[in-house]
Amino acid sequence: MEGSDVPSRRRLIQDALLIGGVAVVLAVVHLGLPPATRARLAFDHGTLDPVTVFTSAFVHVDGRHLLGNVAGYLAAAALAYGLAVQVGRRQWFRVTFGCFLLGLPVAVGLTSYAILAWQFPGIDPITRGFSGVGAGFVGFVFVAMLAGIRDAFGARTALFVGLAVWLLLLLEVYVIYAGSLTLTVGVVTAIGWGFCLWGLLGEVDLADSQWARYWPALGQVTTVVVFLVLFVAILFPARIVADGTVTNVFAHATGLLYGTAGATVTYRILPSNSEGSNGKPPFLQ
């Protein structure tokens, strides 16, 4: 369709190779480089080598570490791509994809370094892994979902849905590490959801007889939210220390936040095309 950003089969294959190519690079680095070389590419917080701040994202402790990070990255990137294509913003994905690969390793590495130095002074860990970048793509999924809602139902609806989902994810992280839901947190969360529901109802015409048109969007949003809940459960495990390794949840948190912010910025900057694959508004196909 003229003027749309719907990829042809050839472009879909190109984009699949682009996304999968990163996974191949990570595997080649792990399998092709000797352990001593991979160790030199890791980020030693005691030396603060600016080169390894970047390269540490592309090396892993072992095969299990690599497999987990690659699987998480592929799932999040593929979902973000699908949502971006659905709202007619393939170029948005491609530009954001490149920005994430170049910028997130450094941004996540330095922020994680600062947080760890502040919270655990005197400890100089060695960090490595692609999970911070993968977390950035989870943030991209969140923004892409809201982009579809915005195009179909307006910015206010996207705002209230975004707040409700963000509260859900924050509540999930709280329950993971607190072990249970306290009365205070439950009440605050309920008030927040009540505010979001009030805002959403204000955007809906209750006299509208065409309620069926909302169901496809509701089903898609629910599916994406389920994936977001699963991603958060993986990024923030209850057992941070397992099998002699420590999961850097600070890197995951900063990657998620930077990914959300970065995808929002590129969404606002790049030109829009709000038509879906067959000319209908996205989330209503």
User: Which CATH number does the domain housing residue 79 bear?
Assistant: 1.20.1540.10
Give the pLDDT mean for 211-235: 88
Each residue's pLDDT tens digit, 10-28: 889 999 999 999 999 999 9
Say how far apart CA 3 and CA 136 lie, in whole Å: 29
Domain annotation covers residue 189 = no
Say if residue 211's pLDDT is above 70. Answer: no
* Residue-number span of the structural domain to which 226 is assigned: 9-154+203-269
Asked if 115 contacts 127 with a C-beta cutoff of 8 angstroms, the reply is: no
Residues of the chain with pLDDT > 90, as a percent, come to 75
pLDDT at res. 255: 98
What tokens does 43 get?
């980020």
Domain annotation covers residue 78 = yes
What's the Cα-to-Cα distance from 182 to each of 51, 219, 229, rounded to whole Å?
A: 44, 30, 20
Domain annotation covers residue 265 = yes
Each residue's pLDDT tens digit, 229-278: 999 999 999 998 877 788 999 999 999 999 999 999 999 999 876 444 44
Domain annotation covers residue 70 = yes
Domain annotation covers residue 221 = yes
Asked if 75 contacts 226 with a C-beta cutoff of 8 angstroms, the reply is: no
Domain count, the chain: 1
Domain annotation covers residue 234 = yes
**E strands within the chain?**
43-44, 126-127, 241-242, 245-246
Helices 9-32/63-86 angle, 10° precision: 160
- 3-state SS of the chain: helix, strand, coil percent to 5? 70, 5, 25
Query: What ranges in 87-154 are assigned the alpha helix state H?
Result: 90-119, 131-153
- Paired with 126 in beta bridges are 44
In degrees, rounded to 5, the angle at the alpha carbon of residue 106 between the alpha carbons of residues 104 and 110 is 115
- Paired with 127 in beta bridges are 43
Phi then psi for residue 199, to 5 deg, are -65, -40
Residue 256: CA count within 13 A, CB half-sphere: 21
Matching residue, tokens 């910025």: 265
Say how far apart CA 203 and CA 206 lie, in whole Å: 9
What tokens does 226 get?
């389920």
Strand 43-44 and strand 126-127: the pairing is antiparallel
pTM of the model: 0.91
Residue type, 119: Q
pLDDT at res. 23: 98
Residue type, 135: A
Asked if 238 contacts 177 with a C-beta cutoff of 8 angstroms, the reply is: yes
Each residue's pLDDT tens digit, 174-203: 999 999 999 999 999 999 999 999 998 887
Domain annotation covers residue 191 = no
Domain annotation covers residue 62 = yes
Residues sharing a CB contact under 8 Å with residue 110, sequence separation 6 or more, in sequence order: 53
